[in-house]
Amino acid sequence: MTGGTRAVVGIVGPGRAGTAIVTAMVEAGWSVGPVAGRGPDREAVGSAADRWAGAAVSVAEVAPAADMVVIGTPDREIESVARAIAPTVRPDTLVLHLSGARGLDVLAGLPCRVGALHPLQTFAARFDASRVAGSWCAITGDPQVEELARAIGMTPFALNDDDRASYHAAACLASNHLVTLMAQVEATTTVPLEAFGPLVRATIDNVMVMGPAPALTGPVARGDFDSVRRHLAALPPGERDAYLAMARRTAVLAGREFDLGGAPS
């Protein structure tokens, strides 16, 4: 932003992550210009353009009017979006994507500044920027990506493309697999999921303060494999494999031999 004019951000893919980041940018003083998605008449495009007083356009029309372009499409679409905006993008425009799994190679054909900012956060609803500030993010590419991250209250850390796959796998474990684990909790008992909230939050708090191994409690950590056998017998058949896999991993963390005696393992 120079000379009192507000810098203009354009967005391609106004979904959950894209609208969170652009909403945070608006709160930080940016103005929204072009908004594109799978077509100018898509609901996602119209609602975002209305909300930010932007212009619903096609992907090919996004670049000329934007100082920065945020690509918030699914990962598999980033490369084709980059190809579509390449002919009209200005050399001083920064184009960045939000993917954790993809590196800068997907933006390689763009004749402008490029970068990636992966929020280490989960956005389950559109336009919800409440968790942007305070979250960490993996950054790479042009130095303006770090400036942007700090301007919207995030804590940036550099991530090389070679380290992306393992980093993104860790992010999936921390968020997606935790969700799946909670679905397993819900499927295993008639006690309401809500009742497990304080337990889950205390567990996460302990892990963050003490580290995983000291935070471990429960039957495997105590070597009480009799209880583990009873759990397996009581579980719905479809939940046993996942339980067993995690119980084995828990034994490794606890430094205990996994010993179910005669029970199936």
Sequence-ordered alpha helix ranges (H) in 86-177? 143-151, 164-172
Among 8, 57, 59, 216, binds ligand NAP (CB under 6 A): 59
The reply on whether position 219 binds ligand NAP by CB under 6 A is: no
The reply on whether position 16 binds ligand NAP by CB under 6 A is: yes
The reply on whether position 141 binds ligand NAP by CB under 6 A is: no
Nearer to ligand NAP, 57 or 59 (CB): 59
- Residue count at the site for ligand NAP (CB under 6 A)? 25
Among 11, 98, 228, 247, binds ligand NAP (CB under 6 A): 98
Q: Nearest residue to ligand NAP, using CB?
A: 15
Nearer to ligand NAP, 158 or 213 (CB): 158
Determine the Cα–Cα distance for residues 224 and 228; give it in Å rounded to an integer. 7
The reply on whether position 119 binds ligand NAP by CB under 6 A is: yes
Determine the Cα–Cα distance for residues 133 and 151; give it in Å rounded to an integer. 9
Nearer to ligand NAP, 172 or 233 (CB): 172
Q: Of the ranges 94-102, 186-194, 200-208, 254-262, which one interacts with ligand NAP (CB under 6 A)?
A: 94-102
The reply on whether position 23 binds ligand NAP by CB under 6 A is: no
DSSP characters over 166-220: HHHHHHHIIIIIHHHHHHHHHHH-SS-GGGGHHHHHHHHHHHHHH-HHHH--SHH
Determine the Cα–Cα distance for residues 141 and 99; give it in Å rounded to an integer. 13
Q: What single DSSP character describes residue 158?
A: E
Please give the radius of gyration of the chain, using alpha carbons only, rounded to the nearest integer.
Answer: 23
Most distant CA pair in the chain, distance: 76
Listed in sequence order, the residues at least 6 apart from 206 whose beta carbon sits closer than 8 Å to its beta carbon are 214, 215
The reply on whether position 10 binds ligand NAP by CB under 6 A is: no
Residue numbers of the site for ligand NAP (CB under 6 A)? 12-18, 37-38, 42, 44, 59, 72-75, 77, 81, 98-100, 118-119, 122-123
